[in-house]
Amino acid sequence: MNADPPTHRACPYCNELISLEAKVCPRCRQWLTWRSLRNPLAQSLFVVLPLMLGCGALLVLAANRFQRVFLPRPFYSEVPGALAVRESWLNWVETTNGPRIYVTGILTNRSDLRWRDIEFECRFADSSGRMVDAAHGRTFMTVPARDDAAFRVAVTPGRPSSADYHSHEVRVTTARSSHSAF
């Protein structure tokens, strides 16, 4: 009767009888242990996997950067009251192409963001305070953070008489934050 513990076993890949201690099958060269970085499977777990995770993290960072450039935030609607018209004046001017209204003014930026491509809404009222005309104007200006900037909006009046434009009101409807690509 043979009570000696077994010293050999069959390779699970090629069935060759090999030493129990063998890490690599001498016949088919398959790695038989997990506990070695030279095992291709262990390599894929401890080297390739972390590498892939690293690349994944880089991709997420790149996507984030892309979003910041091409889908800029915050939008103007997310920063209420960022731009306020401090003062404004209305000038009725007769040009060779007919009458024009020039609304000029000073814009105050109360936010920490730079704004550009500012869109204004102008409302005009007669002497009784009734709104008689309205217009939107877009200016390609930039207002630095916590600063002022002068603006001018040119409007073609919808009414023939300057007497109808007794008073006006102008406010910012939208603008783009400065790191916007578009």
Would you tell me which residues interact with Zn ion (CB under 5 A)? 11, 13-14, 16, 25, 27-28
Q: Which is nearer to Zn ion, 24 or 134 (CB)?
A: 24
Burial track 44-57 (b if 16+ CB lie within 10 A, e otherwise): eeeeeeeeeeeeee
Q: Which is nearer to Zn ion, 28 or 84 (CB)?
A: 28
Q: Which is nearer to Zn ion, 25 or 82 (CB)?
A: 25
Q: At closest approach, how far in Å is the CB of 12 from Zn ion?
A: 8
What is the CB neighbour count within 10 angstroms for residue 68? Answer: 13
| Rg of the chain on CA atoms, in Å | 37
Q: Which is nearer to Zn ion, 31 or 102 (CB)?
A: 31
Q: At closest approach, how far in Å is the CB of 45 from Zn ion?
A: 22
Q: At closest approach, how far in Å is the CB of 33 from Zn ion?
A: 13
Q: At closest approach, how far in Å is the CB of 10 from Zn ion?
A: 9
